[in-house]
């Protein structure tokens, strides 16, 4: 293995919680089989129906998982650094049910499925961490699908950005910064609405100072005001 790649891989493993907690011998074993892959924005990791042949963890950047449908695409989830993408399909040894696409330039760590299962059998702590991540993912997806039925569009968009703020937000003098670039189309796909509705809500909130759209980021000046805004006004 190239020394530079080996150093990057060791650094990546140390920075990912599920691997950082492994015993040194097990982490060294993972390093022998794992690889790093750099992707450009919009690169496809896999398509729906492809074989789930490796555990994939985001080292840097972000990945979106998209389900294509006649009524339009739906973004099921966005994964960031330290999070495993497609882990449910890998664990159950089934084809990927949705397409994964790099939302921005990203680096991924990949571990062949066979070696990942060997690791699950070798370390109970690692197994618990993986199962916990899968449970959280399933719960989040269940809540999201339930919330897309009968809930007003502004409430869905507010819930999306409040969730993103909780996951990746950082406090600034202007408010909570979400360091993520999302198009209006992607916002619509995330909450299950039309791009026109997403444009109307986001434009109004940007004008009113409730949710600011800036270059490569969003800013929530006041979370409570955004929560309140979601519960008033007409549906979109």
* Each residue's pLDDT tens digit, 66-120: 988 776 778 888 898 988 899 889 988 999 999 999 999 999 999 999 988 888 8
Distance between first and last Cα of the chain: 54
pLDDT at 163 exceeding the cut of 80: yes
CA gyration radius, the chain: 19
User: What pLDDT score does 71 carry?
Assistant: 66
User: What pLDDT score does 234 carry?
Assistant: 45
More confident residue, 50 or 27: 50
Residue 62 phi, psi (nearest 5): -145, 150
Domains in the chain (CATH in brackets) are 3-147 (2.60.120.10), 153-229 (1.10.10.10)
> Mean pLDDT, to the nearest integer, of 192-212?
93
Residue 143 pLDDT level (bands cut at 50, 70, 90): low
User: What pLDDT score does 144 carry?
Assistant: 59
- How many Å apart are CA 103 and CA 121, to the nearest integer? 33
């Amino acid at each position: 293995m190239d020394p530079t790649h080996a150093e990057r891989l060791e650094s990546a493993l140390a920075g990912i919680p599920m691997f950082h907690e492994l015993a040194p011998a097990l982490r060294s074993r993972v390093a022998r089989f794992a690889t790093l892959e750099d992707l450009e924005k919009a690169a496809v990791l896999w398509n729906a129906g492809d074989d789930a042949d490796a555990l994939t963890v985001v080292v840097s950047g972000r990945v979106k998982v998209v389900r294509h449908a006649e009524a339009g695409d739906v973004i099921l989830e966005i994964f960031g650094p330290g999070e495993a993408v497609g882990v449910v399909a890998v664990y159950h040894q089934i084809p990927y049910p949705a397409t994964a696409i790099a939302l921005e330039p990203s680096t991924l760590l990949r571990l062949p499925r066979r070696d990942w299962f060997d690791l699950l059998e070798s370390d109970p702590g690692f197994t618990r961490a993986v199962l916990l991540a899968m449970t959280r993912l399933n719960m989040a997806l269940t809540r999201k699908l339930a919330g897309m039925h009968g809930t007003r569009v502004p409430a869905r968009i507010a819930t999306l950005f409040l969730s993103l703020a909780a996951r990746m937000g950082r406090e600034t003098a202007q408010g909570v910064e979400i360091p993520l670039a999302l198009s209006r189309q992607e916002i619509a796909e995330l909450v299950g609405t039309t791009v026109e509705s997403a444009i109307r809500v986001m434009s109004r909130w940007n004008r009113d100072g409730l949710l600011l759209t800036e270059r490569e980021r969003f800013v929530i000046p006041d979370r409570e005001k955004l929560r309140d805004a979601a519960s008033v006004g007409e549906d979109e």
